[in-house]
């Protein structure tokens, strides 16, 4: 019998944690699990950005997930504006557990696939001891000053990788700028389960949004995601446009309170991923008002797969996911989003044209073939 390729996916964040990275990793592990060539382990934390917990250990087919306990949720969000403190919060405990895991499972592992900088730093230290193939996936544009301590740390960490996979060309340019070799960097993209994320018939009726023009937000309820930008727009559009919020996070209470004040704000809260297609399909526009250099914006891919156009910030890798045929890119400012939403609300023919093009755009660019670039990095 041919030996399976053993892959350790090392990540601080995995479902039931909420986020685009978590959903991507769920898709990746399910894709690998269906391939008999691989034996996959995921070593991660219990959710530290949401209060929902998962099983400490679960196994299905060729996949085993191990979640380690740690101090979560409120503390993480308080440290998020301070990258150094966040690094020391996330990294040491996961490093200890990864070392212990490899002591017992090293013979089963051929590849360490680290997700993001913290996991990559851990893998960088441990490959010297355990001598494994080392792959890094980045999911963000770090906004680094090339002369900064952070840039030097990132370069030192990533230069040991056998392959670096960046989520966008913007991310690749940033890494080359700090001194990494472009030849060792490939760009990949997320993919969407097109059988799941597809237009839902009579979605507005099923969602209870008949005769309503809906602007939808899906994501973490944190300041960097720009929920305040949409709330300000909602305050200016009373009676015209309704704004629905799906997600979880420290700003949940604020958004829910606004829903009690403004009759055009709908607070939905957390929704299981399998139920999102209904809400995407029932919405008229998805808004992604991120204030930071977003890595790519997975919710964009999900929405357009369901036939829903997007208004998004022109930050980070987002412009690589959205073009004028299926959406609009604007500055992450309340006035700019307000004008863009109002334009599509008042110009329904333009909106309908974008809707018609969304599904084909998504199927062409964000199918499962994108997973093959990741799998090929495990072998070369």
Q: CA-CA distance, 40 to 14, in Å (whole number)?
A: 14
Q: Is residue 31 within 8 Å of residue 18, measured between CB atoms?
A: no
The predicted pLDDT at position 76 comes to 78
Task: Output the CA–CA distances (angstroms, integers) from residue 200 to 206, 266, 275, 308, in the order listed.
Answer: 9, 20, 11, 11
Q: Where in the chain are the domains?
A: 5-193+367-377, 203-365
pLDDT at 256: 96
Residue 287: band (very low, low, confident or very high) from pLDDT cuts 50, 70, 90: very high
Q: Which of these, 67, 26, 27, 25, lies nearest to 47 by C-alpha position?
A: 67
Would you place residue 358 in the very low, low, confident or very high pLDDT band (cuts 50, 70, 90)? very high
Has residue 216 got a pLDDT over 90?
yes
The number of residues in the chain equals 380
Tell me whether strands 163-166 and 185-187 are parallel, antiparallel or unpaired. parallel
Confidence of residue 1 (pLDDT cuts 50, 70, 90): low
Average pLDDT over residues 255-281: 95
Cβ 309 vs Cβ 327: under 8 Å? yes
Per residue in 126-154, pLDDT (tens digit) is: 998 999 999 999 998 888 888 888 899 99
CATH of the domain spanning 5-193+367-377, picked from 3.40.50.1220, 1.10.760.10, 3.40.50.2000, 1.10.10.10: 3.40.50.2000
Q: How much is the mean pLDDT over the chain?
A: 93
Helix axes 227-236, 334-346, angle to 10 degrees: 50
CATH of domain 203-365: 3.40.50.2000
Q: How far is CA 82 from CA 51, 87, 114, 226, in A?
A: 21, 9, 22, 19
316, pLDDT greater than 90: no
Contact 338, 380 (CB under 8 A): no
Task: State residue 86's pLDDT score.
Answer: 87
Tell me if domain 5-193+367-377 and domain 203-365 are identical in fold: yes
Q: How confident is the model at residue 373 (pLDDT cuts 50, 70, 90)?
A: confident
pLDDT one-digit tens code per residue, 26-60 = 999 999 999 999 999 999 999 988 888 899 999 99
Q: What is the pLDDT of residue 292?
A: 87
Q: What pTM was estimated for this model as a whole? A: 0.85
Element housing 268 (H / E): strand 265-269
DSSP string, 336-370: HHHHHHHHHHH-HHHHHHHHHHHHHHHHHHSSGGG
81: CB partners within 8 A, 6+ apart:
none
- Range from 19-23, 64-68, 223-227, 337-341 carrying the lowest mean pLDDT: 19-23
Looking at 214-359, which runs of residues are DSSP E strands? 214-220, 242-248, 265-269, 285-288, 310-313, 327-330
Question: Given a cut of 90, is residue 102 above it in pLDDT?
Answer: yes
Q: Work out whether strand 111-115 and strand 185-187 pair parallel, antiparallel, or are unpaired.
A: unpaired
Rounded CA-CA distance 45/61 in Å is: 21
């Amino acid at each position: 019998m041919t030996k399976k390729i053993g892959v350790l996916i090392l990540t601080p964040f995995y479902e039931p944690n909420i986020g685009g990275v978590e959903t991507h990793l769920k898709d990746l592990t399910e894709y690998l699990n269906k391939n008999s060539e691989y034996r996959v382990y995921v070593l991660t934390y219990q959710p530290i950005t949401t209060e929902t917990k998962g099983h400490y250990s679960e196994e299905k087919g060729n996949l085993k997930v191990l979640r380690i306990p740690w101090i979560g949720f409120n503390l993480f969000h308080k440290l998020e504006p301070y990258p150094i403190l966040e690094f020391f919060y996330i990294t040491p405990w996961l490093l200890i557990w990864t070392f212990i895991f490899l002591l017992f499972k090293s013979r089963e592992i051929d590849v360490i696939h680290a997700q993001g900088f913290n996991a990559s730093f851990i893998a960088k230290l441990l490959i010297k001891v355990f001598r494994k193939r080392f792959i890094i996936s980045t999911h963000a544009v770090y906004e680094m000053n090339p002369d900064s301590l952070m840039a030097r740390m990132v370069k030192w960490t990533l230069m040991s990788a056998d392959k670096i996979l960046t989520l966008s060309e913007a991310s690749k340019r940033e890494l080359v700028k700090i001194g990494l070799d472009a030849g060792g960097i490939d760009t990949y993209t997320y993919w969407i389960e097109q059988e799941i994320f597809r237009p839902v018939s009579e979605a507005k009726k099923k969602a209870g949004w008949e005769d309503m023009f809906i602007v939808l937000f899906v994501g973490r309820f944190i300041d960097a995601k720009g929920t305040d930008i949409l709330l300000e727009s909602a305050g200016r559009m009373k009676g015209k446009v309704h704004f629905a919020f799906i997600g979880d996070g420290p700003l949940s209470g604020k958004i829910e309170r606004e829903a009690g004040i403004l009759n055009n704000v709908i607070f939905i809260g957390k929704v299981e991923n399998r139920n999102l297609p209904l809400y995407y399909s029932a919405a008229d526009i998805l808004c992604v008002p991120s204030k930071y250099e977003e890595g790519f914006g997975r919710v964009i891919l999900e929405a357009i797969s369901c036939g829903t156009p997007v208004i998004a910030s022109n930050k980070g890798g987002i412009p690589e996911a959205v073009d004028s045929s299926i959406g609009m890119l604007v500055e992450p400012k309340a006035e700019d989003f307000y004008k863009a939403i109002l334009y599509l609300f008042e110009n329904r023919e333009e909106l309908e044209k974008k809707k018609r093009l969304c599904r084909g755009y998504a199927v062409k660019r964000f199918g499962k073939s994108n997973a093959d670039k990741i799998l090929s990095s495990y072998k070369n």
